[in-house]
């Protein structure tokens, strides 16, 4: 065992690197890895913190030691007023139970049914697009993914509430993101404008999901979706409490739409910058689909489209920084002694830029994922959905959704970026593109608009 700490910045007395982290978390963590390598020590105030990017150590934290490295309590306290104690935030036995409750909604046989909804909603989302028309692609993608998550998991048509939901979600995730970035919870009882906005956004989202519950109660029918599963377990067996219901619906609603919508926005941006990839995408879409909308059976045949999404998730993993973990006892990691109470940061954004596994890492190259090449990488080197017992519950859902939405839209339209602002990511809770990414869409075939 080594006795020294891993390399890292000294930081300021008392504050450590808190101010750097607060100013630009994404920039700070990226620069730490560039300067000090794949295992870095720094301090956040008085606490020891580590940026862990070595695949074997990432695997150890997420897969081998998760009981000794649960989600960190300060960050949990920050998001608790919104997420409650559902699957995203809980630890230990509560987490195992919450995960078991929601798991059946993501079984493979259900995913096939969801594919139909993904394609229908992509078509619906672009129904009013006109060739030569200009749109904000982030708003367009959010509308589609909010509908997808509402229809698949809650059998609820969200058409009327999309603008309300999108704006309340942006508010709450933005506000919580600020506290999250500085790892400092602002108690809800503080009478500030900030808390007033936070409460208003939480109320709005609560009302939206509770309306889904009311609508379900009107028929009380088992629709085979997540909401029916939770409601039946809530009513008949009483083993799902009201809080479980609310917390899990919020978890899925929140975790399940921005991440995929932003992945699609990044994919459009990357495609527009790489016409050769765009041409290869069209070749696949025309060959496999021949002009008809994709179905679940086409999904495994859309190999190149899937490679584009995987490469997009490598360069711009929307879950760019896993929820910080905390060591509950002294550990040895990568040969270094890690004291109890330390914070562990694991960033897919940083990890995916390691040239050992991804030569010329800033280059967009879907070929890296040809024939499932990621399976040859060490475990922990490519983790857009995390790893281990807390791996994203929606990973297969999201991959299918992104691939089928990209295929359905790209089959019909070429998307050109008109945005004047620099298209660089900002990293808070999710890796966001700038707001209002302005694009022009042109029909690929004369019949495209009609086909849509
Ligand atoms: C491209 C889209 C998505 C990306 C990149 C993504 C990424 C992630 C990542 C990295 C985690 C692990 C966080 C951690 O360990 O700290 C996670 C967790 C989670 N995701 Fe996703 N996600 C996506 C879409 C979805 C969708 C569509 C759903 C549901 C419909 C979903 C539901 C969840 C849930 C419930 C968790 C918490 C799991 C747990 O803690 O046990 N995600 N996601």
What is the band of 307 on the pLDDT scale with cuts at 50, 70, 90?
Answer: very high
Across residues 66-94, what is the average pLDDT? 90
What is the band of 169 on the pLDDT scale with cuts at 50, 70, 90?
Answer: confident
Closest of 266, 289, 370, 270 to residue 119, by C-alpha: 289
Domain 18-451 has CATH 3.40.50.620: no
Is the per-residue pLDDT at 450 higher than 50? no
Is the per-residue pLDDT at 447 higher than 60? no
**C-alpha span between 2 and 338 (Å, rounded):** 11
Beta strands in 256-295 (DSSP E): none
Higher pLDDT, 98 or 278: 278
Q: Which of 63, 169, 248, 255 to mutate to test the pocket of ligand 1 (most atoms within 8 A of CB)?
A: 255
**C-alpha span between 325 and 147 (Å, rounded):** 32
pLDDT tens digits for range 20-31? 998 899 999 999
Nearest-CA residue for atom 41 of ligand 1: 390
How much is the pLDDT for 335? Answer: 95
What is the band of 373 on the pLDDT scale with cuts at 50, 70, 90?
Answer: very high
- Residues 435 and 342: beta-carbon distance below 8 Å: no
How much is the pLDDT for 452? Answer: 46
Q: Evaluate: CB of 255 within 6 angstroms of ligand 1.
A: yes
- Distances in whole angstroms, Cα of residue 205 to Cα of each of 141, 212, 356, 392: 19, 11, 43, 22
**C-alpha span between 380 and 56 (Å, rounded):** 7
Across residues 14-40, what is the average pLDDT? 94
- Residues 295 and 319: beta-carbon distance below 8 Å: no
Is the per-residue pLDDT at 186 higher than 90? no
- Distances in whole angstroms, Cα of residue 104 to Cα of each of 90, 213, 318, 361, 393: 19, 19, 25, 37, 10
Q: Evaluate: CB of 240 within 6 angstroms of ligand 1.
A: no
Q: Evaluate: CB of 263 within 6 angstroms of ligand 1.
A: yes
**C-alpha span between 430 and 388 (Å, rounded):** 20
How much is the pLDDT for 446? Answer: 59
Nearest-CA residue for atom 13 of ligand 1: 322
Is the per-residue pLDDT at 180 higher than 50? yes
179-188, 212-221, 360-369: lowest mean pLDDT where? Answer: 179-188
Across residues 180-199, what is the average pLDDT? 84
Q: Which residues, 6+ apart, have CB-to-CB distance to 228 below 8 Å?
A: 155, 216, 221, 222
How much is the pLDDT for 1? Answer: 67
- Distances in whole angstroms, Cα of residue 61 to Cα of each of 50, 55, 140: 12, 10, 37
Across residues 167-179, what is the average pLDDT? 86
Q: Evaluate: CB of 86 within 6 angstroms of ligand 1.
A: no
Across residues 96-105, what is the average pLDDT? 89
CA of 180 to the centre of ligand 1 (A): 17
Across residues 61-79, what is the average pLDDT? 92
How much is the pLDDT for 236? Answer: 64
Q: Which of 142, 394, 397, 400 to mutate to test the pocket of ligand 1 (most atoms within 8 A of CB)?
A: 394
| Tokens 């309590």 found at | 73
Which two three-digit tokens encode residue 138? 């982030």
Q: Name beta bridge partners: 441.
A: 133, 415
Closest of 373, 345, 343 to residue 358, by C-alpha: 373
The 325-326 sheet, strands edge to edge = 39-44, 47-52, 343-345, 325-326
What is the band of 108 on the pLDDT scale with cuts at 50, 70, 90?
Answer: confident
How much is the pLDDT for 234? Answer: 75
Query: How would you classify the pairing of strands 426-427 and 331-333?
Result: unpaired
ipTM entry? 0.99
* DSSP, res 333: E
Nearest-CA residue for atom 43 of ligand 1: 392
Q: Which of 392, 401, 403 to mutate to test the pocket of ligand 1 (most atoms within 8 A of CB)?
A: 392
Across residues 83-102, what is the average pLDDT? 89
392 appears as a binding residue in the annotation: yes
382 torsion bin: left (phi>0), alpha (psi -120 to 50), beta (else): beta
Across residues 312-336, what is the average pLDDT? 96
- Residues 349 and 30: beta-carbon distance below 8 Å: yes
Domain boundaries, the chain: 18-451
Backbone angles phi, psi at 440, to 5 degrees: -115, 140
CA 194 to chain centroid, in Å, comes to: 25
Average pLDDT score over the chain? 92
């Amino acid at each position: 065992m080594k006795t020294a700490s891993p390399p890292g910045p000294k930081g300021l007395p008392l504050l450590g690197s808190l101010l750097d982290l607060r100013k630009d978390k994404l920039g700070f963590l990226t620069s730490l890895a560039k300067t000090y390598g794949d295992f870095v020590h720094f301090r956040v105030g008085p606490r020891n913190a580590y940026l862990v990017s070595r695949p074997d150590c990432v695997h150890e934290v997420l897969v081998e030691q998760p009981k000794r490295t649960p989600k960190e309590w300060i960050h949990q306290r920050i998001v608790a007023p919104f997420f409650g104690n559902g699957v995203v935030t809980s630890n230990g036995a509560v987490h195992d139970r919450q995960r078991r409750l929601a798991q059946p909604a993501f079984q493979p046989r259900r995913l096939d049914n969801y594919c139909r909804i993904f394609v229908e909603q992509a078509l619906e989302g672009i129904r009013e697009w006109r060739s030569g028309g200009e749109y904000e692609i982030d708003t367009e993608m959010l509308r589609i993914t909010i509908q997808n998550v509402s229809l698949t998991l809650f059998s609820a048509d969200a058409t009327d509430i999309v603008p309300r939901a999108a704006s309340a979600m942006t508010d709450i995730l933005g506000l919580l993101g600020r506290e999250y970035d500085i790892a400092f919870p602002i108690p809800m009882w503080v009478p500030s404008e900030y808390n007033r906005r936070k409460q208003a956004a939480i109320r709005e989202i609560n009302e939206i999901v509770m309306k889904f519950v009311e609508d379900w109660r009107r028929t009380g029918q088992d629709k085979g979706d997540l909401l029916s599963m939770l409601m039946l377990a809530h009513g008949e067996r009483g083993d799902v409490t009201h809080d479980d219901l609310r917390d899990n619906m919020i978890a899925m609603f929140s975790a399940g739409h921005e991440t995929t919508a932003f992945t699609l926005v990044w994919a459009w941006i990357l495609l527009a910058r790489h016409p050769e990839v765009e041409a290869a995408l069209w070749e696949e879409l025309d060959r496999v689909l021949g002009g008809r909308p994709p179905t679940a059976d086409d999904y495994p045949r859309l190999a190149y489209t899937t490679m584009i999404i995987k490469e997009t998730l490598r360069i711009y993993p929307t879950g760019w920084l896993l929820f910080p973990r905390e060591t509950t006892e002294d550990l040895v990691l990568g040969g270094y002694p890690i004291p109890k109470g330390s914070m562990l940061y694991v960033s897919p954004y940083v990890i995916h830029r390691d040239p050992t596994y991804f030569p010329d890492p800033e280059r967009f190259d879907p070929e890296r994922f040809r024939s499932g090449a990621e399976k040859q990488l060490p475990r922990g080197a490519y983790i857009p959905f995390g790893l281990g017992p807390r791996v994203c519950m929606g990973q297969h859902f999201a991959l299918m959704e992104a691939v089928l939405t990209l295929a359905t839209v790209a089959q019909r339209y070429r998307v050109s970026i008109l945005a004047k602002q620099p298209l660089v990511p900002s990293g808070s809770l999710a890796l966001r593109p700038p707001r209002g990414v302005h694009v022009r869409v042109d029909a690929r075939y004369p019949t495209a608009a009609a086909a849509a």
